[in-house]
Chain A
Amino acid sequence: MDVGDPLFRTEFAVDVVDLFLAILTAPLLSGWIGTCRAVLSNRTPAGVFQPFWDLLRLFRKEVILPEHTSFLFRAVPFGVFGILSVSALFIPLLNIRPLLGPVADVVVLIGLFSLVRMLMAFGAMDAGTPFGDLGARREMMVGFLAEPATLMILFTVSLWSGSTSLSRIIQSLLSSSDPVHPSLMFALMAYILVFLAENGRLPIDNPATHLELTMIHEAMILEYSGPLLGMMEWSAHLKLFLYLLIGIDFFFPAGLPAELSPPAVILGIFLLIGKLMAAGTALAIVEILFAKLRIFRVPEFTALAYLLASIGFLIHFVLEV
C-alpha cells in the first residue's frame, strides 16, 4: 500500500489510536476488576481510577536502585513495556486488519510474551536477592507449563481459517455461519485456565499478596521502586488487557467492525467496552470463589488446560469437518 493513500492514512491513524487506547484502558480494566472484587467481598471499592493514581504516585518518586545491580535491572522495565506495546499493535482492538498484522502471527505473539517473561525473570534475578530469584523461578515454571496449552489453543482456533494470522482467524470466525463450535468451547475453557496462569491471577498467584511463600509476580518486582516499579505495574495491566483482548477476539468476535466506517467503529467500541467489563466481572467472580492452589498443584492445572485444548483440537476433526 502506498504511504500517500488515504485508506492507508485512516488505517494508520486507527492503529495509533488503538495502541494508545490499549495502553490507557489497561489500568482502567485493572481498576474495574479491583472494584468488582471489592464490591463482591463487601469492601468499599477504591474506584476504577485507582491504578492511575497509583501509577502517578510511583512516577513522581525518584529512582532508587538496589546496590550491585547492573544495567539489565534498569533496562528491563523499558524492555517489558516496549515489547508489550508493540504486541498491542498486532492484536486487533478495533481494526481487524492492523497494518503490522502481517508481520506477526499468533506464534510470534506467544514468543513475544515469553520474551517479556524472560526479561522480567532476568530483572528479578539481577538484584541477587532470594525473593527475586524465587519469584523468577516460579514464574518461569508456570510459563513453561502453560505454553504448550497456549499453543494448542491457538492451533485449535486457527484450524478454522487454516492460517495462524490473527486477522485471518478473526475474519473467518466472523464469517462462519455456525452458531456454536464445540471445539471453540473447549478452547475457551482452556484459554480461561491459561489466562489465569499467565497473568498471575488467583488460583495460581494472588496479585494482592506480599506473603513471602506464596507470591510469584510480586516477588519478581520486589526490588523495583518509583518510576521503574510504575512501568512494571503498567506492563502487568497491559499484559492482562492484551490477554483479555485476544480471548475476546477469538471467542467473542461478534461486533468487531468489519470495515472502518464510523457507525461500525462506534458500535464496536461500545461492544468492546461491554465485553471487557463482562470479562473483568467474570474474572473478579473467579478470584472471589477460588483459593490459591499449592504451587505443586500448578502442573495439574496446566495439564487440564492442555487436555481441554487438545480435545478441542481433536473434536474439530470429528465433529466439524
Chain B
Amino acid sequence: MAPHPHLLANHLVGMLGSALLLSAFANLAMRRLTSLVRIFALQGLLLTASTLAVAILSSETHLLFSALFTFIFKVVLLPTILFRLMNRLHIQGEVESLVNVPSTMVIGLGIVVFSFTLAAPISELASTVSKGLIGVGLASLLLSFLMMITRRKALTQLLGFLGMENALFFSAINATYGMPMVVELGVAFDVLVGTFVFGIFFFQIRETFESLDLKHMDSSSLE
C-alpha cells in the first residue's frame, strides 16, 4: 500500500517545519559561535527544502525561484560572509548568555505554546496546503527574538536577526505561498546588505570599546 504522493509531501513539509523549530531551539542551546553559524546554514537548507516541497505540493512555480534564491543567499553567501567576519575579527569560543540554558529552554517552550495558540485561529483562515505550519513559523520567529534578547555579543545578535528573517520567510511561504518576487528579492538583498553593515559596525564597535560585548554601549555602564 503506497501512500498518496501528496500525503507524503505534506508529511515532508511537516517534518521540515518541525526541524526548523528544532534548529531555532538548537540556536538557543549552542555554546560555540561556529556551531551557531553552521546551524544558520542548516536552517537555510531546511528553508530551501520546505519551499521546494510547498512549491511541488501547490504547483506554484514562482516558489521554485524563491527556493533557489534562498539557497544562494542563506546557504552559500551569508554563512561564508559570517565565517570570514569571524576570522577577521578573531572571534572564537563560547557564547555568553544572560540567562542559563535550561531556563532559556523552558522560556522557549512557553513561547512555543503561546505562538501555537495564537496561530491556531489564523491557520483556519488560510487556504494553503501547509497552513498548520504558521504556528511553527511564528514560534521560530519569537525564539530567534529570544536569542537576540538573551545574548550579549554583537555577532550572536546578528545571528538572531538572521534567524528572525528565516522564520518570517517560512511563515510567508506557509501562510500565502510567499510574498511577491520583488519583495522577496528586496528582503534578501536587504539582509545581505544588512550583514555587510553589521560587519562594518562590528569593527567600529570593537575599535571603540575593545570588545564586542554590547553592554559597553549601555550609557549606565560608562560611569
Contacts of A185 in B (CB 8 A): 15, 18
Whether B105 pairs with A186 at a CB distance below 8 angstroms is no
Q: Does B101 contact A (CB under 8 A)?
A: yes
Tell me how far the C-beta of A95 lies from the nearest C-beta in chain B, rounded to whole angstroms.
25
Q: Does A303 contact B (CB under 8 A)?
A: yes
Query: Which of A182, A304, A317 is the one whose CB lies under 8 Å from B14?
Result: A182
A interface residues, Cβ below 8 angstroms from B: 177-180, 182, 185-186, 299-300, 303-304, 307-308, 310-311, 314-315, 317-320
Contacts of A320 in B (CB 8 A): 14
- Chain B at the A interface: mostly helix, strand, loop or mixed? helix
Tell me how far the C-beta of A305 lies from the nearest C-beta in chain B, rounded to whole angstroms.
10
A-B contact pairs, 27 of them (CB 8 A): A177-B1, A178-B3, A178-B11, A179-B7, A179-B8, A182-B14, A185-B18, A186-B18, A300-B102, A303-B101, A303-B105, A304-B29, A307-B25, A307-B109, A310-B112, A311-B18, A311-B21, A311-B109, A311-B112, A314-B113, A315-B14, A315-B18, A315-B136, A317-B116, A318-B120, A318-B136, A319-B17
Q: Does B98 contact A (CB under 8 A)?
A: no
Question: How far, in angstroms, from A304 to B25 measured CA to CA in the complex?
Answer: 9
Assuming the A-B contacts A303-B102, A307-B108, A311-B112, are A319 and B14 also in contact, with contact meaning beta carbons closer than 8 angstroms in the complex? yes
B residues 39-55 with Cβ under 8 Å of A? Answer: none
- Chain A at the B interface: mostly helix, strand, loop or mixed? helix
Residues of chain B at interface, number, CB under 8 A: 29
Tell me how far the C-beta of A31 lies from the nearest C-beta in chain B, rounded to whole angstroms.
35
Question: How far, in angstroms, from A311 to B17 measured CA to CA in the complex?
Answer: 12
Q: Does B199 contact A (CB under 8 A)?
A: no
- A300-B101, A315-B18, A318-B120 known, 5 other contacts, Cβ within 8 Å: A185-B15, A299-B102, A311-B22, A311-B112, A318-B133
Tell me how far the C-beta of A320 lies from the nearest C-beta in chain B, rounded to whole angstroms.
8
Contacts of A317 in B (CB 8 A): 116
Q: Does B106 contact A (CB under 8 A)?
A: yes
Question: How far, in angstroms, from A177 to B21 measured CA to CA in the complex?
Answer: 25
Please, what's the 1-or-0 string for B105-143, where 1 marks a CB less than 8 Å from any CB in chain A?
110110011001001100000000000110110000000
